[in-house]
């Protein structure tokens, strides 16, 4: 009997080790060539082209930079997204504006943001917004190992549950828009949709903000059906421009939707 138990234990341990090795080897077959996400913004209100791995269809990996289905239907819709690295007093006003206009957005939070501002994150969820993962330490995901990337996302997810009582929504935004096929594949296997963006400006330096009118004019210049703009909650210019952007786009016949309209429902693993 002991002999068979020994054999079984050996086979079990070997199979676990082999499974782990295969898993790691599998990711090594996916390119980790760095792509620094960028856009060729257009002024004819059509979808811009973007930087992506050559020959790769982003949606194959549940990766999106605009609302695909609305764009195909020419649905006049915008999906508001906000990155939350740290808090400097703007988020409450942003949430007030969204609530007043009955708009739902998605906020991508870092682990320190959740830990320092659990009340704001709870409010996001209570008011119907989505809260996505923006990692723990905001690293370039192509420059860390698969194991470290999983740790970055899992720690942020765990803090979300511990500090707010809410589960993280299955959306991830890679810091600085730096990604690769491997990054998309790992995120997909973890149950995430990888969310890029279809409009952005240099609004992320707290002490070097653009003018409010500049933000408004840039949106008016580059909007298109399915647009997914990136704003930062640390931006006072974005906060002040948001009410005008909303009213202006509504006058143009646009509505504001949630990214769940064009992404498949996923479950985090």
Strand partners, 83: 108, 232
* 3-state DSSP assignment of residue 117: coil
Q: Which among 93, 119, 49, 129 is positioned nearest to 235, based on CA atoms?
A: 93
Q: Within 10 Å of residue 154's Cβ, how many Cβ atoms?
A: 16
Whether 232 sits among the annotated catalytic residues: the reply is: yes
Instruction: Give CA–CA dist 99/144, Å, rounded.
Output: 38
Please give the structure tokens belonging to residue 27: 């990711």
What burial class does residue 57 get, using C-beta atoms within 10 Å of its C-beta: 0-12 exposed, 13-18 middle, 19+ buried? exposed
Q: How far apart are CA 3 and CA 254, in angstroms?
A: 72
Catalytic residue, from 62, 129, 232, 238: name it: 232
Catalytic residue among 83, 169, 203, 238: 83
Cα–Cα dist 169/134, whole Å = 11
Q: How far is CA 39 from the centre of its chain?
A: 16
Q: Is 83 annotated in the active site?
A: yes
Tell me the catalytic residues: 83, 232
């Amino acid at each position: 009997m002991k002999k068979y138990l020994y054999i079984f234990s050996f086979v079990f341990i070997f199979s676990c080790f082999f499974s782990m090795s295969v898993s790691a080897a599998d990711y090594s077959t996916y390119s980790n060539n760095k792509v620094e996400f960028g856009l060729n913004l257009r002024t004819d209100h059509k979808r811009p082209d973007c930087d992506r791995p050559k020959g790769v269809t982003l949606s194959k990996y549940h990766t999106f930079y605009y609302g695909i289905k609305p764009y195909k239907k020419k649905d006049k819709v915008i999906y508001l997204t906000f990155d939350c690295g740290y808090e400097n007093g703007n988020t409450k006003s942003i949430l007030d504006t969204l609530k007043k206009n009955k708009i739902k957005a998605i906020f991508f939070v870092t682990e320190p943001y959740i830990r320092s501002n659990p009340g704001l994150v709870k409010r996001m969820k209570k008011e119907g917004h989505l809260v996505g993962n923006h990692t723990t330490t905001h690293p370039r995901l192509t420059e860390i190992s698969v194991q470290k990337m999983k740790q970055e996302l899992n720690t942020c997810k765990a803090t979300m549950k511990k500090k707010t009582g809410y589960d993280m929504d299955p959306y991830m935004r890679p810091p600085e828009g730096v990604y690769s096929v491997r990054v998309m594949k790992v995120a997909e296997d973890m149950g995430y949709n990888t969310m890029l963006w279809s409009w952005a400006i240099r609004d992320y330096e707290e002490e070097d903000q653009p003018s409010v009118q500049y933000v408004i004019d840039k949106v008016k210049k580059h909007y298109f059906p399915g647009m997914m703009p990136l704003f930062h909650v640390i931006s006072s210019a974005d906060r002040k421009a948001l009410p005008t952007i909303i009213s202006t786009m509504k006058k143009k016949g646009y509505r504001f939707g949630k990214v769940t309209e064009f992404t498949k429902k996923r479950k985090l693993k």
